[in-house]
Chains A and B, each alone.
Chain A
């Protein structure tokens, strides 16, 4: 039995959430007015939560590091959002969405959480429509759907290629309405630098005003962390430049457990790295794999000529092209899940068959579908993506195949939370990509937007009441209390320390080094030897960073390098924990592939006997190793099977 209290309600799966809602406490309107809630992060998860809590009557203070909540990285999501509406009459249901998500996550998530996610998903679409989100429509005026990888039904709602933008602008408008009413106070260009735990409960945060440099505390009866994912530990990723895991990391250092840090998702269709001047990677929508065929040359000498630029893709005759996904996975072909497609690309490139000057790219070819469907159909389907590709690479994908390569995209791991989305620190909540729940070892396409909004609109506003009902007698938090002053001192001390090192290397230098360790050893395939190498290497990098980093500018002024330095310092430590977690998990599941745990044909092999648990890492001090707690995953409703796409 697991000793970890995850608060999952008893009873049949389909009744757990409604039963739980009727069991938990509710705060009266008069008392809500007296309760303060801090929401850090105003992406889909944070904006929806802050707006909903404000509507309920709580006093909300919300924070983000950009100059507007509308700029959170949720804005960049392209493809769509899932919901079990069954509008297509294709026999979709809450159960089917639940099952697809559990299976897609390779059986490393909680049944009860995932079921709830599926259960509230239809409400999200209704809510967004009411806000004026311009979802795609059929001629008859009903909502349109498309299908996405790994599922048999059509349940993805979308707004052109800008679904994340439109959903975020919807949540942002709801948030703006509350800001205007005064129920939410919004702090932009404010970065959270610590969480304050007092009397065993989260009671506030310490922030730095990014314009003036002022370090200041804010108190509340509960703190909600909605700060997104930590993909930027890898330096190059599809995340925005400012995305960071620092807020979650500060919570971890104050005692909150970090769940499954090694579970990150690698997306197979990104524009390849062009050289060492690159700052980030751009995703090309997964939908392209519906009509593009992935290949590399069969002959090594052709690949070498391509790498030297002596020939182009169109010089390679049909019979010399290796459509390796179709070859290895005849039944799913080019539509295998993200992790499988990514590893297969790496395998070919590692074997020397990469097609660009770095040897790290494969072709995604539309020639065949253009021949079959005509250029107009392809243009209608992917016109804007083709244009974006051409802007970046200066090649025309109608004439030459695209070049793609996998890149880090999403973090399934995050702060451990119970069924109420509360971390193991009372009063500290984590929602959206920042928490570990729901996606297990691999996230399905179009499910992150769903989870962020489910958490923010329909789960947290209920579950937080259960905790806050016990806080109605707690007076307004006094930020002059010693716990706050100490935290402020520690934050200021760290900023000064970073600033005063005045070493010889820029922050980016260290970030890039970290990225190399992570990508090479904690990336698409991992093994014990490599992971140990990464841990040692990153530990040395950490020492070097704290001796030799150079932070220019001023402490008390706008200073992007100082901001970055703090985030990279955290990312270095997170990298170590990610490698430790990957080392512990000697099985292959979802996005986590251990060379030691593979079939003879090189496919992933899960080990349910030994690893059906959530890794909950507990910080024990800066110079001590963290402790691994395990939450056993119990499956009462689905049977665990090995995924096969052959």
Chain B
């Protein structure tokens, strides 16, 4: 039951030392990777090797390594988070690869996500969208009892489906228009489903969409590609709810 060892792999990876510099692909060889290792562990091993050879290690974002923080963000063999469904990059395992494979790794590509270094991009635009309205306007304290307003189980569950978004940006990286609609819709829809968030739903939709447009994300043409690559299976039905709130906001203007 011991894991199979991949004796040799070729890692073709985007190298770019800073935002200003032009990037390029480099290919590195790596040996003896256990199929039980995670994809990021494979990169750790490659980096150890590069360091000892005097080559600058490959910079990539990661933190929790269990699919929840949304930090990891690699475009692997032409797919956001690599060749598996419903997982993040850090949950990808080397079992998905075979002896002698060439694996191509790129950063998220989107105008609104400039490269900082190698595979690390700047996702500050996501922060700005959330700051534009991704909240319920309540202060700490002076709050009624948690059971004061009943919330139907179905509504709570649907809100939770949307709230599962980890803010990774795979939807943007996958979309041919680099649209952030799925990400925005997840928050708008979560809060619109709950009585606490409903009050500001229209204003929230309007402000978040306006911010998204301002920051250079493209428009949504309903291709549905985002939904397929989203590691948390956020459904594009949330985009429909966002559109409803957005239109309602427009009409009431």
Chain A interface (Cβ within 8 Å of chain B)? 48, 51-52, 55, 66-68, 70-73, 75-76, 85, 87, 122-123, 125-132, 134-143, 159-160, 162, 165-166, 169, 172-174, 176-177, 179-180, 186, 188, 211, 240-242, 274-275, 277-280, 282-283, 309, 312, 357, 388, 391-394, 457-458, 461, 504, 506, 508, 550, 552-553, 557-558, 560-561
Contacts and interface: CB of A to CB of B under 8 A. Distances in A.
B33 to A, nearest CB: 8
B132 A180 contact: yes
A635 to B, nearest CB: 31
B122 interface: yes
B140 A553 contact: no
Nearest to B33: A277
Given A173-B130, A275-B34, A561-B51, A139 B56 contact: no
30 contacts: A52-B139, A70-B167, A75-B68, A76-B64, A126-B145, A130-B196, A132-B159, A132-B191, A132-B194, A135-B146, A136-B156, A143-B146, A159-B163, A162-B164, A165-B68, A174-B138, A176-B134, A176-B135, A274-B36, A275-B36, A275-B37, A277-B37, A279-B38, A280-B66, A309-B1, A312-B1, A391-B91, A391-B93, A508-B44, A552-B57
A557 B18 contact: yes
A87 B69 contact: no
Contacts of A173: 130, 134-136
A284 B14 CA distance: 35
Interface in B28-45: 33-34, 36-38, 40-41, 44-45
B116 to A, nearest CB: 6
A38 B132 CA distance: 23
Contacts of A143: 146-147
A76 B68 contact: yes
B223 interface: no
A337 to B, nearest CB: 24
A137 B152 contact: yes
B156 A137 contact: yes
A440 B119 CA distance: 42
A241 B146 contact: no
Contacts of A73: 63-64, 69
B156 A135 contact: yes
Nearest to B197: A132
A558 B166 CA distance: 24
B213 interface: no
Contacts of B191: 132
A67 B146 contact: no
A72 B56 CA distance: 27
Contacts of A275: 3, 34, 36-37
Q: How large is the interface on B (under 10, 10 to 19, 20 to 34, 35 or more residues)?
A: 35 or more
B156 to A, nearest CB: 4
B247 to A, nearest CB: 22
Contacts of A188: 124, 127
A176 B41 CA distance: 33
Contacts of B45: 277
Contact of B57 (A131, A172, A561): A561
Contacts of A172: 130
Contact of B51 (A138, A279, A506): A506
Contacts of A558: 59, 116-117, 120
A240 B153 contact: no
A550 B139 CA distance: 48
Contact of B56 (A75, A278, A550, A553): A553
Contacts of A51: 140
Nearest to A49: B140
A68 B126 CA distance: 9
Contacts of B146: 85, 122, 125-126, 128-129, 135, 143
Contact of A67 (B33, B93, B124, B197): B124
A583 B179 CA distance: 57
Contact of B63 (A71, A141, A458, A461): A71
Which of B18, B37, B68 gathers the greatest number of chain A CB atoms within 10 Å? B68
A153 B141 CA distance: 26
A132 B34 contact: no
B62 A241 contact: yes
Contacts of B56: 552-553
B143 A130 contact: yes
A176 B187 CA distance: 13
A138 B67 CA distance: 28
A240 B65 contact: yes
B197 A176 contact: no
B218 interface: no
A176 B190 CA distance: 16
A274 B140 contact: no
Given A279-B38, A552-B51, A132 B136 contact: yes
A275 B1 CA distance: 13
Contact of B140 (A134, A165, A457, A557): A457
Nearest to A243: B63
Contacts of A72: 69
B70 interface: yes
B160 A130 contact: no
A447 to B, nearest CB: 18
Contact of B139 (A55, A67, A162, A240): A55
Given A179-B131, A188-B124, A561-B51, A240 B36 contact: no
Contacts of A560: 57, 59
B151 A141 contact: yes
B66 A76 contact: yes
